Amino acid sequence: MDEFSRFVDWDKMDVCAQSQDTKELTCTDLHELKQLARQGYWAKNHSLRAKVYHKLISNIPCRTVTPDANVYRDIVVKITGKRNSSSLPLPEFVDNSLIPTYCLNAEGVGAVRKIILCIANQFPDISFCPALPSVIALLLHYSKDEAECFEQVCRILACNDPSKRLIDQTFLAFESSCMTFGDLVNKYCQAAHKLMVAVSEDVLEVYSDWQRWLFGELPMAYIARVFDVFLVEGYKVLYRVALALLKFFHKVRAGQPMESDSIQQDIRAFVRDIAKSVSPERLLEKAFAIRLFSRKEIQLLQMANEKALQQKGITVKQKSCLLMFQQNVHLAVHAENFKSEIVSVKEMRDIWSWIPERFALCQPLLLFTTLEHGCSLSRFYSHSEGHEPTLLLIKTTAKEVCGAYLSTDWSERRRGGNKLSFFGTGECFVFRLQPEVERYEWVIIKHPELASTGSETENHAQPASSTLSSSSIPSDPSDRLSPFLAARHFNLPSKTASMFMAGSSECIIVGGGDGQALYLDADLNHGRTSHCNTFNNQPLCSENFQISILEVWGFRD
C-alpha cells in the first residue's frame, strides 16, 4: 500500500474507505487545522494521516532530553532479548489494560509490547498509564518502523507545555480525571447520570471507565478520528467524546432492560458495537455540540480534584488506598452515623451523587437545625460561616422537601456591608426531593426584588457593588475550593457575575436552575419561590410556604 503499511493487516481494514487521492496538507493556522481535523480531511488517506501525525507530534514541545528512534534501536534487544514478543510481561503501570489490536498484523501486535517495555525503561517516573497500549497500537499504523513509533509516543509523554495536557501518567492524574469526568457528566448528561445512580452502587467506578471507552473499546475507525482532533486540540477532546458516548448510550438504551448485571459491561459493549448505531462523524458532531467548560476551567477543576485526593492520601494505586477511597466516596453517608429529620440516608446519598466529586470524598456534618438552634437567621449565619460548601435542606408544613447546594462560604455576604450581597459560583444548584425528585441546574438570580418591595427593589436590582471583581481572585487557582469563576466561565455580564447566592440580615436568596429561585425571610419560618413558566418544569415547591424544619450540613474530611 504505502511506506506506513508495515504493521497493518489490510484484510481487516476497510480498504474501500482508504482514498488514494494525493492530498497534501500545507495549512499551519491552528484554527484551520482544527476545522480540517474535525471534518476528517486526512481520515481517508492513510499516508496523509501518517504525515500529519508526524508533523503534529514533531511540533509538541518536549523535555530537552527526550528518547528518540536511535535510543530505541540501542535498547530494544537488551530489554526484550530474543523472547517471543507475545510472551513479554507488561509493566504494572498499564494496569493490565486491554491491548487493542486495531487491525494490526502479528508483527504489529508484538511491537506494541516491545515499545511499552522500552518506554518503561526510559520513563521511570510513569506510575500509571492505562491509555498507553492503545496510543502505541494506533500510532504503529502510521509509523515506518517500531523506532519511529517509539519516538512519537515519547514526544507525547515528554510534553512539557504546562497548558497542554496529553496523557495521564500517574494514578493521581488518572483518578482526578475520572472525578472531573464525573463532574462533567453531572452537569452535561443529567439524564444519563440519573440512570447511573439508579442502577449502579458505585457511580465513580462507572465513570472511572471513561478512558477505557476511548482507549480500548472504541473501534479503530472511531478512535483514529478522535486522535486526529486530540493531537490538534488536546485533552479536552477526550472529555467531549466520552460525554457524547454516554449521551448516545442513554439515548439508544433508554427504557430497555440491561443486557448484563453490570452497567459498566453494558456501556463497554455499546462502545465496542457503536458502529451499529452511530457513525464516527455523528459521534464527533455530538461531542462538539456540547457547550463544554473552557480548557482553563477544566484544568482548575482537575487541580481541585487532585488536591482533594492528595488531602486524603490517595496518590498511588494501592489496595488499601483504593478501599478507603471507595468507602469515602460511596459510603460517605453512613447509615449508622447519619441522622436527619428531613431526609433519609438514601435521599442524602442521592444528593451526594449531585455534588462535585471532590466533595463526595467528605462526610456530611450537621451544622444547624431549627429544631435545636431555633429560627434565627443570625444563628443560621454563625453556625454556617467558615464552612464551604454547605447543603441547605428544607421541609415545609405541606411535607414538601427541597434544598440547595451552596458553593461559597456565607461570610462572603459581608462584602456588601448591610446591603443584600450577591456572591457564589456556578456550582450552586437547587433541588426538590418531595413530592418528586428533581435537580435544577444553576442560573443567576433573576428576581432580586423578591427580597424587598417598593423603592428598595431598585437598590437591590443592580447589585454591581457586591459582584466579585477579578482582582479578588487568588493568584494560585489551587487555593480555591471552587474553581468555577462565574464571570468568565459563563460569559455573564459583570453586574450579574456572582448572582447565585445572596444574604443580608433580612433574608437569604438562592438562585436555582430553569428559572427557579428560593427566598427565605429572617425568621426562617416563611419562604417563597420564583418559578419561570418559560421552562417546562415543576416549581421547586409551593410559591409561598411555611418552614417546618430547616437544616444546614457541612462537609467533613
Q: pLDDT for 318-365, tens place per residue?
A: 544 444 444 444 445 666 678 999 998 888 888 888 888 888 878 899
Q: Per residue in 458-476, pLDDT tens?
A: 333 333 222 323 333 333 3
Q: Residue 422 has which C-alpha cell?
A: 450577591
For residue 290, pLDDT beyond 80: yes
Question: Would you call 307 exposed, middle or buried from its count of C-beta atoms within 10 A (0-12, 13-18, 19+)?
Answer: middle
Helical (H) or strand (E) element with 501: strand 501-503
Q: What is the pTM of this model?
A: 0.79
Residue found by looking up cell 451552596 in the block: 406
Q: If we measure between CA atoms, which residue out of 61, 65, 242 comes closest to residue 164?
A: 61
Helical (H) or strand (E) element with 79: helix 69-80
Interatomic CA distance for residues 113 and 109, integer angstroms: 7
Q: Per residue in 58-74, pLDDT tens?
A: 999 998 899 999 999 99
Q: Yes or no: say if 129 and 161 are a contact pair by the CB < 8 Å rule.
A: no
What is the chain's alpha carbon radius of gyration, rounded to the nearest angstrom?
Answer: 26
Interatomic CA distance for residues 109 and 301, integer angstroms: 37
Interatomic CA distance for residues 166 and 230, integer angstroms: 8
Q: If we measure between CA atoms, which residue out of 345, 340, 349 comes closest to residue 368?
A: 340
Q: Residue 445 has which C-alpha cell?
A: 438570580
For residue 480, pLDDT beyond 60: no
Q: Per residue in 239-276, pLDDT tens?
A: 999 999 999 999 987 777 776 778 899 999 999 999 99
Q: What are the backbone angles phi and psi of residue 391, rounded to the nearest 5°?
A: -125, 125
**Mean pLDDT throughout 308-316?**
78
CA distances from 257 to 138, 195, 252, 271 (A): 34, 12, 11, 17
Q: Yes or no: say if 219 and 105 are a contact pair by the CB < 8 Å rule.
A: no
Helical (H) or strand (E) element with 423: strand 421-423
Helix/strand/coil for 30? helix
pLDDT band of 531, cuts 50, 70, 90: low
pLDDT band of 550, cuts 50, 70, 90: very high
Q: Residue 375 has which C-alpha cell?
A: 429560627
For residue 145, pLDDT beyond 50: yes
pLDDT band of 519, cuts 50, 70, 90: confident
CA distances from 178 to 208, 290, 356, 453 (A): 5, 19, 12, 47
pLDDT attached to residue 430: 87
**Mean pLDDT throughout 427-436?**
85
Q: Residue 137 has which C-alpha cell?
A: 497500537
pLDDT attached to residue 90: 87
pLDDT band of 126, cuts 50, 70, 90: very high
Helix/strand/coil for 188? helix
**Mean pLDDT throughout 356-385?**
91
Contacts of 119 (CB under 8 A, 6+ apart): 126, 132, 150, 153, 154, 157
Residue type, 57: I
Q: If we measure between CA atoms, which residue out of 303, 338, 352 comes closest to residue 482?
A: 303
